[in-house]
Amino acid sequence: MKRTFAIGDIHGCLDQLEDLVARIDLKESDLAIFLGDYIDRGPDSADVVDFLIDLAKKVPCIFLRGNHEHMFLEFLEFGANKTMYFANGGMKTVESYLGPEEPSRSHVKAAQALSEEHRDFYAGLKWYYEDQHYIYVHAGIRPGIPMSGQERQDLIWIRDEFIFSPTGMKKKVIFGHTPFARPLIKDDKIGIDTGAVYGGVLTAVRLPEEVFIQSHR
């Protein structure tokens, strides 16, 4: 029987990701939907991406774009957002590719350090995904607007306007981005970022049963 799992924000926490995937015990018949923010802040961003690339060779996976991947890609291309990106934990990601001893953390050197597999991974990230019952997105949606009219910035950045207002959608929205001490469960949305990188846990939800599975702390 096909099972669907949505997995929240990893932020370079490889140990929690490995633990959670082992607890889920993913099968070839399952679908794993990752909600973005695989990198930044935590210690093992590049290794997390390696793990996800390998996992996708064994189990069907969908990888969504988070605001942190978006910032990383902008840094790699232009380098103009370096101050803001590093203030949001981006230095950890750059160091995971270049090594902490590398004195230059330029966007050029970081871009050169990415393997072709990693470049393909980042290039293939989706803005959102839908199935019969749910909408999956990193941050949320602008309430009352159909998915075809959503702004991409909202999909990866929105918070309060989405969380505290009815979505107006027929499908329930599964999202990450905003950390909670425990999963946020509302009639029209479920938030599963439980702050893995802040000392919390990494959370997955099995759908449509809406059963939660969590990593160790």
> How do residues 62-116 score in pLDDT, each as one tens digit?
999 999 999 999 999 999 999 999 999 999 999 999 987 777 788 999 999 999 9
> How do residues 20-38 score in pLDDT, each as one tens digit?
999 999 999 999 999 999 9
| In the chain, % of residues over pLDDT 70 | 100
Instruction: Provide the CATH number for the domain formed by 4-138+171-214 in this structure.
Output: 3.60.21.10
**Mean pLDDT across the stretch 42-67?**
98
Give pLDDT, residue 111: 95
What is the C-alpha to C-alpha distance for residues 141 and 145, in angstroms, rounded to an integer?
A: 8
Residue 59: CB atoms within 10 A of its CB come to: 17
Domain limits of the chain?
A: 4-138+171-214
Residue with tokens 């015990």: 25
What is the C-alpha to C-alpha distance for residues 118 and 36, in angstroms, rounded to an integer?
A: 15
Helix (H) or strand (E) holding 54: helix 45-56
> How do residues 4-16 score in pLDDT, each as one tens digit?
999 999 999 999 9
Listed residue (166, 162, 121) closest to 139, CA to CA: 162
